Amino acid sequence: MKNKIHVATAQFSPLAGNLGYNVKKICTILEESAQKNVQLVLFPELAICGYDLKLIDEGRGVFSEDGSGLNFLFNTCKNCKIAAIVGCCIQKGSKIYNSALIINEFGELIQIYDKQLLDAEEKEIFNFGEKTCVFKIHDWNFGIAISYDCYSLDITTKLKFLQIDAYLILGAFIKGGYYSFDLNHFALLAKEFECYVVVSNFIGSHGGLTFSGNSSIYAKNGDLLNNCFENFGVTYGILEKNIINSEATITLDNVINLELETIEEEKKINQ
């Protein structure tokens, strides 16, 4: 049994609808994280296409459930021997879901989780997910949520009894949203579950929304281990199963070195 795992949570600003740019950015983050011996990286909700419901409704950024068209991402995971949890829009038959791709260190798509708690606008596009998701990587049991799933008592109660080691939350939390981005909520989840909580969120603006950042990692007792605050970049942590508080948990310095993240550079790309 592996008692330690190196994880990272990525905080970046995608270009809405620019799938090539976003996948390349995600793969760059995976490659840089692998160089730091990270074993799993968490990305935000709909990271591949960006959180722009209008573009998604037009059919841009929708992938089939077998992951066709994402071989570059799968191969990066395989070549770097790193797992990735990536937000993506998935079509199953005639239905579209707001999903998370769960890719192991061998580049295999081992599961897809579909968001269960949709807001009013999302209901017009996506179908409701129905199943709780728990998966194993490096002998660690992970639970997963997409944004406001983690606020649902019904969803979180189901996960609590599955004895997960870490709870991964793919976020698209905005400034001034209906559910404000509440760091205390994630701390309380860690205490309640007695497990680590890892949150990934966007920063900057796209799709007409401004996102609140604060991608973060919490210890089992709710202590904040690391936070990206409102920076572009990746925050790292080494999680250990037999450690409860933050005093003996190793956290690594944030790496704020993602290129092509300024508004001016994004404008150049879109020209």
> What is d(CA 175, CA 161) in angstroms, rounded to the nearest whole number?
32
pLDDT in tens, 205-257: 999 999 999 999 999 999 999 999 888 999 999 999 987 766 544 444 444 34
CB 84, CB 78: distance < 8 Å: no
Kindly list the domain boundaries of the chain, sorted by start residue: 4-270
The CATH number of 4-270, from 3.40.50.12140, 3.90.550.10, 1.20.5.510, 3.60.110.10, is: 3.60.110.10
- What is the sign of the dihedral through the CA atoms of 205, 207, 94 and 75? negative
For residue 191, give Cα distances in angstroms to 93, 214, 245.
39, 19, 10
Q: pTM score > 0.85 for this model? A: yes
pLDDT in tens, 124-165: 999 999 999 999 999 999 999 999 999 999 999 888 888 899
pLDDT in tens, 15-54: 999 999 999 999 999 999 999 999 999 999 999 999 999 9
